[in-house]
Amino acid sequence: MTSADCLFCKIVAGEIPATLVAETADTVAFRDINAQAPTHVLVIPREHHRDIAAMAAADPCLTGRLAADAAAVAAQDGLTGFRLVFNTGAEVGQSVFHVHGHVLGGREFRWPPG
């Protein structure tokens, strides 16, 4: 399942360049083009799903593997703590509608988020 107009499907296909930091059979991880922290990596499934809710409903196992791959990316960057964020819906800031986990770390974070 891919979406012809999807930016992140194009990154998976290698049609748009990205700074890859990890790849598995199911997921691709690359640095965010507009980093908000020393580590800001996006972890995405190769398969196109609109958001985390759609992916979790369609394929819970893939969702679990993506979480594990996000943790591996954080460890690879030397992080002991990290934030894993899935913006879900335009009203909370989702701008790319191919599910992606933001792995953020390397600085202090506040709670609640803005």
Shortest CB 111 distance to ligand 5GP, Å: 18
Choices 27-35, 44-52, 70-78, 104-112 (CB under 6 A): range interacting with ligand 5GP: 27-35
Cβ pair 17, 69 in contact under 8 A: no
Which of residues 40, 48, 100, 102 is near Zn ion by CB under 5 A? 48
Which of residues 61, 80, 95, 114 is near ligand 5GP by CB under 6 A? 95
Judge whether 48 counts as a catalytic residue. Answer: no
Please, which residues have CB within 8 angstroms of residue 44's CB and are 6 or more apart in sequence?
8, 11, 12, 27, 28, 29, 66, 98, 99, 100, 101
Buried/exposed code over 69-78 (b: 16+ C-beta within 10 A; e: otherwise): bbebbbeebe
- Our CB check for ligand 5GP shows the closer of 21 and 61 to be 21
Beta strand extents in 20-91 (DSSP E only): 20-23, 27-31, 39-45, 83-85
Which of residues 9, 11, 43, 62 is near Zn ion by CB under 5 A? 9
Q: Give residues in contact with ligand 5GP (CB under 6 A).
A: 7, 18, 30-34, 42, 87, 93-96
Catalytic site residues? 100
